[in-house]
Amino acid sequence: MSEPLEKKQDREALSFEEAIERLEQVVERLESGETSLEESIRLFEEGMRLARLCGQRLERAEQQVEILLRENGDWVKRPFRPEEDAE
């Protein structure tokens, strides 16, 4: 198991994929039931920080996504708008 990523700069240096992988490790460890209460709390806090980081990265990626639409025979770029925002 990897060392905890408690420092903000350590977490922010992770790629999205690395953060998800670490979050999965944290969840597995918590689900194992083999940690003390103190360790479980620390892991839970780390997991919440990682989940927040992943959510922020996904939001940024969503903002950068563009959809190609065909208008009058030409391809046109339009900003991505989730379905709930498109209404």
The answer to the question of residue 42 being in a domain is yes
Domain of 49 in residue numbering reads as 16-75
Flag the least confident range among 5-9, 64-68, 76-80: 5-9
Q: Using CA atoms of 48, 49, 51, 57 in order, give the dihedral in degrees to the nearest 10.
A: 160
**43: in domain:** yes
Residue-wise pLDDT for 58-75, tens only, equals 988 877 777 767 777 788
CATH number reported for the structural domain that contains residue 30 in this entry: 1.10.287
- When pLDDT is averaged across residues 32-42 and rounded to a whole number, the result is 97
Number of domains in the chain: 1
Q: Give domain status of residue 80, yes or no.
A: no
Give pTM, 2 decimals.
0.67
Q: What's the rounded mean pLDDT across residues 31-49?
A: 97
**CA dist list (Å): 55 to 1, 19, 62:** 23, 11, 10
User: In this structure, is residue 28 part of a structural domain?
Assistant: yes
